[in-house]
Each structure stands twice: as structure tokens, then as C-alpha cells.
Amino acid sequence: GSASSGGKEGYLVLNHKIDLPTENVTIEADVEFSSLSGHVGLGFISVDGSSRKGYSMITGQNIKNVSATLGGGGNGLTPSVSWATGTKYHFKAEYTAANNTENGSSNCIVYTVSDSAGNILGSNTTPMYYSTTDIVYPALGGTTAENAKYSNIKMEVAGKSYTFDGLDEQTVLSSLAVSSTSLRLQLNSEDTITYTCLADGSPASVLLEYDSSILTVTNDGNGTLTVKGIAPTTSTTLKVINSKATYIASTITVVVEDFNSTDNYGALTSVYPANGAASVFEDGELRITFDDEPEVSSTGSISIYDNEGNWVDTIKASNETIDVQAGNTVNVKDQMIRVEGKSVYFTPHYGALKAGKTYFVAIPKNVITAKLNSKDFDGLALNKASPAWSFTVRAAVTPSSTITVDGSESSTADFRTVHGALLAIGDSTGDYTINIAPGTYRELIHFNGAANITLAGTGTNARGTDTVIQWTNLNKWNGSMDTRSVVYFGNKAGQVVIKNLTIKNTCDRSVVGTADTQAEALYDKSSNKLVVYNSTLLSHQDTVCTRGPSWFYDCYIEGDTDFIWGYSDVALVEKCDLKCLLDSAKAASSTDDILFVSRCGTKSKAKLGKGYVLLNSTVTVEDGVTCYLGRNAGSGDFYDQIAVVNTAFTKVGSGSVSTDLWSGAKTYDYIDGKEDKVGLKVYGLTGDIDVSKAIAHVGTISAADYALEFNGRRAVLNRVYVVEDDAYAAGSKWDETELTAWETDAKAVADASAGNVYGGEASKSWMVEIADNGTFTDGDMTVIVSGANANGHGAEVKATGTTTVTISLPAGGYILDAGTCKYGNADSTTDGVTTVNNYKLTCANTDFACEYVGTHTYSSEDCYKAGRTANLYGDIYFIHSDSAMVITLQSNGVKEYLPFIKAIKEPKYFVEIADNGTFTDDDMTVTVSGANANGHGAEVKATGTTTVTISLPAGGYILDAGTCKYGNADSITDGVTTVNNYKLTCANTDFACEYVGTHTYSSEDCYKAGRTANLYGDIYFIHSDSAMVITLQSNAVKEYLPFIGVDK
């Protein structure tokens, strides 16, 4: 053992190696602790030789899983146990072979702790697994073995029970350790491996397994093996086995290379980089060009050594692997060496070449058959003194936020490969854009750093067809979603944007076979946003997989089986062209193509995203193919959430869209009676498709739901379905600034849902009534308040000018500002950047209207306060901006209070150039008739036959620009009131209606949409503590009533 936690780590291992795939094993004992420090208890350990590899144990600090188990750290017991020293507990650990699944979702070990009377104090099923290659024993002990005393030890295995009455006789585990697990030999040379082998604590002999046609191995019997290479090979194995415990073995990988000692080709002038070149890129392909077309042996390799003769890297022509930035080892087979024309291209392993180092290339005999400089090629010599082809790598490059990539041999970019750029970014955070020059990039891109990454092709072809990232990868070669794609972003990755690129998985079933051909071109595993536009995505099975919120725009995507799939709450595929392919290699077993597989949300989740939505797109079905919109995603706690909307289908030849729409006889996961919300649903499909014969429970989106929930990208991306309410609602909103920038860059069509108005939801506004210090913010507006006052005054702006209120106002925003309180004086102000006696209003630009409206009287220090119908006090300003601005209000000699009453980003209802009709939602109705086209709003005629009616919910607010040119300025008091010009009536009197002031006017121009000109007419601010109905009607004088903002 070793020192740990102030004690000694040690284990009493019960001498039975568990057959993990078949055996069920239980170990139990009474345990008493003298101290609760460290991890000591009972359970299972895995071993490596004579060392502890990992353990899963129940201890006096609950369950502890270390190293060999899935999910390190402790796991609690249910219920929790209050541990004590000097108390005897009964521990029991049960291993079940059937639950040892390597997906980690099952519980192969169940732990129980009981008191001395047999009452269960707590238990736990620990999600974990052991690899079937692990060597696992039941054991007692831990990191502080001296802190526990054991008795009544029992073990049960294979139907037999064993009781241990005493611990007098102890043995040491059998073990085997070797000095190295890899060996590189030159032909007919030899090297040594040392080993230590024990059985029951005593030295033991070893057994050897190897290919005697490639190696000779001599064992001196004292722990040293001498290994000689007698035939060249890129890889063979030497297995060393404990003769007394044959399940304990070590495998040594051996390479035997055969190089010439000198070369006779003369100067090499047809290589990249050039012989003797300096400042060479550390990433990208190297090239050697021959006189004729070369042939590369599938068992051959190319090696790189440093200038001191130390081996650095070997690139194999077949059965090759690479370690990617994401931390996985990926099988790449024969793709690291390729022939094109008369050239052989080969790619060093990622990160093999180091900055500032000098290297040379050595090629064994009989690897490449060709002529070089008119001579038969027989490799490049392993000769550090006089190498035929050497080069020096450039100094280290520190990436900036914008990185350039150009794979050509004339490149002057930052890197030659995308993966090279990502390696340089590594674990850095922040935003990085990688601009990729046109060309074909044969590489895997697997990244799991935290940075936000933009991959941007810089070519001119539509959908990025002149900038191609391609590779062959599939589940058959790499049996994990984390390793089988071409472009992969791991679960730690930040936000990803891909534009103007083609990503192609070149998996060919006619070459690799038809089994296990899941082959993503793109897989983003992170929960952050994925945005892909103006791009092309190519594969056959599982072309695209997503987990986070995703938006694909103006892309071409093709595949056959499940070619858009994943776990995203929302993944919008908009204005894209999809093609269902016929794969002749697959056609013998199936010609069915599946567009979508969705594993959306959970069945216990209160809110569900829209899932996978195909919107305003096209689908082409190739000759001989039957297309299905989706299929069941398998059993699980999710819904098959798919919508296909406003999409045109075109068949080629005998291609067709199945009238079932849904593939397979299995029912799918939907909500019964709500299939138009959860499940597969369609709307507005045209062309070669018949939806009338779809299987039961395929839903049809209603026209009303389409108009509000599926008519554009914001409606799809930002809104969710609330299961309990059977209604849609606002969800996690995409940042408006980012989304707008992506739309602009993608040249996206206008979003039809941008102006959608939703009922029953909080409006897009901010109310600082009794302001506290802090920041009130969302994606579009920020109100920062400091120096708060608790008496309803809002933000106190002191005479020193050290306290400010700052507002970042989006384009088209509105503010009603109750400017000052008791300590301020009434002052007027004009448009623009203004200084008045009481405070200064400054703006980052002058493109805004700031109007003094009027002054409220006051009789106390009571300004506007939440939940109160009392008057507003202080100066009132109405502020509007046509473009984004920042406004800062700061005192200028007099102590002020600035309670911002309303900052309205998008008023709930806006009748500017009013049309006849009704604006309604669940809580508020605005009915307008007698509209006038000159910006006057609703014309209320002297006959009294035209009215504007508002049903205002409890807590509602109205800013009403009351009259236009034909009205006179009149005052009004609280309650049900008649004035000269029009009548304001309310169904109850529990509301505040305050006359604020009158705007001057010089023409018939009232407030008009998109204009910074002043408001004209009377201004009213209305607030209600309870629901009310307000009717405005003319009273002998023709009026225009342009409601500026109605906000609930």
C-alpha cells in the first residue's frame, strides 16, 4: 500500500477473480470504524499486476467509485446514513453480471448497509460498469485500512457460500509486470524487455506467444526477454503470460522495419516540403512525387525521425489510428497514405511535429514501387548523418481570434488544416473564426474545447461546394457516436457556426459492407447552439446528428437512412434542399429512406421544444426509393417530435413518398389527442406526396398554430409546447443580436414570424417601479440602476453626479420616463443631447426623439409606487429611437429620483396607422373602426358612432396619445371622466388615468410608425390595479386617437 489520508492503503482480496460476463458475486461483513477518515470499507477492486487499478466500495463515507468504474466520486445512500465510530454496521455488496453493460446505464453493483439488528439503514444502486477485460476481485480495505475492523466475512458465488472464520493465513495476488508494452526494431537487430512474474507471492515462470516467422524471443529465466526482428512488419505482438495464473497477461506491440543505410537517387526535387526547407507547417500532408504512378504496399509505412535519429512518427498504409483533439483514438484504416497521380501523400499524426524541430523522412524497403529520378525506388535511408529529405518546422504560432487555413502547398495561412487550427485553440475560451480557403481537406475534425467556433469557407460557390472537408468514417470502424463522424464537436464545445462549407463522409457501403454504416458527416454533441448555413452535408446513414438548439439554413443535405436525427429540443431545417438517395449496395435489403429520427425532450418534462422541423424546403426522392418522413426512435423517455411544414416533394422515376408517412409498424411516441402538437405533424405539403392516408396519430398543424408557431424561424426556435396547459409559450430565446447577424450573413429571407403577437404572455417590456441596485436585462435592453431608494422614488441620482441610470435601448424602442420626484423642479427639454437644471440626458447618437410631456404635481415624497393607484410625480418624458442607442441620466446639481415607469421594446398593441378591425388575445382586446390613413389612428367622429374599446387586464398599462389636430388640450382627473373632446369611461373606477401634457403641432401629422417626429395631442398614462374596460368616444368634436403603446 501507499500513504494516503494519513494512513496506509491496503486490501484483503478474496482469492476469486470474477468472471464478469457470467458470474454473480456477493460479499458481506460486519464493519466497525475506529475513524471515519479516508475511504475504507467493502466491495470490489480491479487490479493491474500487483497494483490497485480502481475500486467501487461502500465505506464510512458512502459509496466511492474510483478509476475503473464509470463516474468517479461518491454516491449517496438512500436514505442517508449518519455514520459513527464504535458502531457495528453490516455491509453487503452484490455484483450482477447481466447489469454490467458498457453504456453505463445499468447498475451492476447494489450496496446495502444495515444495523446490528438487521434493519436496513440505506441502499444504493450505482450506475457503473467494468470493462470485460478488467481483472476484478471482491475485497475489504481501502485508503486507510487500519481504520476498520471486520468480522463475519462471507462471500457467495456460483451458488456456493464461503465463510471466513479467521484472517491468520494471507497470500499475495498473482501478478505480472513488463518494462514496456511497445518495441521498435530494425531488421535483424534485437532489444530487451524485462518482466516480474509472481504467483502466490513467489516468482513464477512466463509463457510466450508470438509469430516465429517475424520474431525470435529468448527468455533468460531471470526476468529478461531478448527480442529480435527477422522479418519486416508494421505491427506484430508478443504476449507474455503468467504460467500459474494464465488469465494475467501483457501484450507487447512490436514493429520491425527494414531500411537502407544510404540512398542513390541524387537530389530530391519533387517533394513537399522541399529538402532542407525551413519554416515548414507542422500540420497537413507531405508529398513525394515519382517518375511514374506509384504503388504502395498495404502492409507498408513511412516514418519520421528527428535530426538526432530518434523515432518520432510512423504512418501506416493500413490499420492506422489517430488521436484527435477531442481525446479519442479513431481508427482511420488506409487514409493516412494516399496515391494521386504520380504522387504519394502522407499525413503525420496530429501533434507529432513540434515547433522549431528538424526532421527527416525514412521509408522502409519494399513499401513503394515506382521509379524516382530514373532509378527503382527502394525506400529512403534511415541515415541521420545524411538524410535524403529533411526539413525544419516553423516557430510556434499563437492563434488570434481570426485564423486562416489554406491546405495548398503554396499556403501562407496560419495553418494548413482545420484540425491544426483547432489543436492550437485547444482549451482556450472565447470566440474564434477559422476562415478556410477553397480546396479539399482530407481530415477528421474532432474538437471538444470550450471556445465558440466558426468554420467559414471563403470560396465563391453556392453552398460551399468549393471548400470541402471529407473523410471516411463509420460505426463499423469506430463503434461510438463520439468517434464515427467526420466533423465532431464534443459535449464541452461552445457555440458552433458552420458556413459556406461542404462536409462529406465518403463512407461507401460497396467497399465497407452494409452493416454498422452509421456515418455522420456532422455531429454536434454539445448543448450549445449549432448554426449551419449556405453549406452542403453529404453521407448516407445518419448524415447529421444534433443535441443542442440548431438552425440549418439554405443547405443541401443528402442521405438515405435516418439522415437528420438527434436529441435536440429544437432543430430547424429551413429553406434547405434534401435528397433521398438510392444506394445500390443497400438496395438488396431495403430501398426505404428515412428523413428524420427525433429523440426530443422527456415524457416527464413540462415543456417540449418543436423538435426537428423542416420548413419552406424541398425534398427530392431518387428513382427506386421510398421516402418516409420519420420513424420510431426506439424505446426511451422522449417523444418523436417532428414537423414538416410548407415543403415541396419531387419524385424521380419510380421514387415515391410512402402514404403512411411514418416508417414501421411500431407505434411512435406522441401525446394521444394532441398529435398536432407532439408527434409527427404536417402542414402545407405539396408535390408528389399524399397525406390523406397517413397512419393513425400523424397530426395536422392547424392554420392558427401555423400562423403563430410554425410560420417562421423565431416562432420555431424561441417557443415551446407546455404539456399541462395544452398551449404554446415562450421558451429559451435565441439572442436577437446574434440571430439577426446570422440572418444578414446568410442573406436569409425575412422571418415571417418576427411580428407574431402572442396572447397570455408577459410583454416585451421592463418596469422599474421601486428600483433596487442591479441590472435588469434581456437580449435587447439593459437598465442598470444604482443608488436605489426604498420609498418608491426609484434610482436616486445625487448632486455629486456619481450615481447614474443607464439604458441600452434597441432600435424602435420606447420609454415613458417619470423623470423627477419631490426634490426636482419641472423643466422642459428638447430633442437630442440635452442638459437641464436637474439632470443630464445623453445619448450615443442623436437619432432619437426625447420629448418633454408634462409635469405632475405632488404633495409628498410619494412618487409612483408599485401596486398603488396614486399619481405619478415629476417630469414626464417620452423617448423613442429609430436606431440603437445608450441613454445615461445623471444629476446635475440637484438630488433627483428617476423612477422609470415603462421601457417598452415592443408594445403589446400598436395602432399607428390604424386599420379597422380587432386586435385581441386572451387578456386584452383593442377594437378599432373608422381608420384614417394619415397617421391619425382611429377617427372618432362627432356623431359618436365610432369608438375605440380596450379591455385592460389587471396590472395593465397604456400610454395614450389622445388627440390629434382637431382636438384641444384638456385636463382630466382620475375616474370616469367626460372632457370637451371625448369621453373616457371604465367598467370600474379602480384605475389611475392621468393627464400628462399636450404636444404642440403644426400639421395633421400625428405620431407615425418609423418616424422620429414629435407626438401630437393629449398624452395619458393609464394603469389599472384590476381588470377594466375603457371606451373612448368623440363628444361633439372629430378626434383621432393613435394609441402609441398598449402594454399588459
pLDDT digits (tens, 9 = 90+) for 264-283: 999 999 999 999 999 999 99
Q: What pLDDT is attached to residue 68?
A: 52
Q: What's residue 523's pLDDT?
A: 98
Answer whether residue 48 shows pLDDT above 80. Answer: no
SS3 744: helix
pLDDT for position 924? 40
Predicted confidence at residue 815, as pLDDT, reads 52
In this predicted structure, the answer to whether residue 977 has a pLDDT above a threshold of 90 is: no
Q: What percent of the chain has pLDDT over 90?
A: 53
Mean pLDDT of the chain: 77
Of the listed ranges 177-191, 643-657, 682-696, 968-982, the one predicted with least confidence: 968-982
Greater confidence (774 vs 511) lies with 511
pLDDT tens, 750-777? 999 988 877 544 333 333 333 344 444 4
CA atoms within 13 A on the CB side of 148: 32
Q: What confidence score (pLDDT) does residue 571 get?
A: 98
Mean of pLDDT values over 624-637: 90
Of 184, 215, 179, 216, give the one whose Cα is nearest residue 195: 179
The pLDDT assigned to 172 comes to 64
The tens digit of pLDDT for each residue in 364-375 reads: 999 999 999 999
pLDDT-derived band at 61, boundaries 50, 70, 90: confident
Model pLDDT for residues 932-942, shown as the tens digit of each residue: 333 333 443 33
Distance of CA 171 to the CA centre of its chain: 52
Mean pLDDT over 543-554 rounds to 98
User: Over the stretch 122-168, which tens digit does the pLDDT of each residue have?
Assistant: 887 656 667 767 888 999 998 888 888 888 899 998 888 888 766 55
Structure confidence at residue 38 (pLDDT) = 81
pLDDT, residue 127, reads 60
Strand pairing report for 233-242 and 249-257: antiparallel
Residue 574: left (phi > 0), alpha (psi -120 to 50), or beta?
beta
Assign 422 to helix, strand or coil. Answer: helix
Query: In this predicted structure, what is the pLDDT of residue 1040?
Result: 44
SS3 of 786, please? coil
Grade residue 884 by pLDDT with cuts at 50, 70 and 90: low
Residue 864 pLDDT: 33
Mean pLDDT of 1029-1038: 46
Q: Identify the pLDDT of residue 572.
A: 98
- Assess whether pLDDT exceeds 50 at residue 17: yes
Query: What per-residue confidence (pLDDT) applies to 52?
Result: 80
pLDDT digits over 916-961, tens only?
Answer: 444 343 334 444 433 333 333 344 333 344 445 555 555 444 444 4
503 confidence band (pLDDT: 50, 70, 90): very high
The 10 Å CB-count burial string (b at 16+, else e) for 168-189 is eeeeebbbbbbeeeebebbbee
Q: What is the mean pLDDT of residues 349-359?
A: 96
For 236, residues 6+ apart whose C-beta sits below 8 A from its C-beta are 210, 211, 214, 215, 253, 254, 255, 256
Longest dimension (CA), the chain: 120
pLDDT digits (tens, 9 = 90+) for 79-109: 888 889 999 999 999 988 888 765 445 677 8
Whole-number Å distance between alpha carbons of 224 and 699: 73
Whole-number pLDDT of residue 645: 98
Q: What is the pLDDT of residue 789?
A: 38
Which domains does the chain carry?
3-164 (2.60.120), 175-257 (2.60.40.1080), 271-393 (2.60.40), 398-559 (2.160.20.10), 599-756 (no CATH), 764-906 (2.60.120), 917-1047 (no CATH)
What's the pLDDT score for residue 531?
98
Q: Note the pLDDT of residue 822.
A: 34
User: Which residue did the predictor score with more confidence, 814 or 582?
Assistant: 582
Residue 729 in this model has a pLDDT that exceeds 70: yes
What is the mean pLDDT of the segment spanning 810-814?
52
Q: Please give the grid coordinates belonging to residue 514.
A: 452494409
pLDDT digits (tens, 9 = 90+) for 326-336: 888 999 999 99
Between 1037 and 56, name the one with better pLDDT: 56
Residue 880's pLDDT is 53
pTM: 0.65
Per-residue model confidence (pLDDT) at position 166: 62
738-760: average pLDDT: 89
Tell me: pLDDT of 482 over 70.
yes
Distance CA 876, CA 871 (A): 12
Q: What angle do CA 582, 585, 590 make, to 5 degrees?
A: 65
What pLDDT score was predicted for residue 96?
A: 87
pLDDT band at 981, cuts 50/70/90? Answer: very low
pLDDT above 70 (res 642): yes
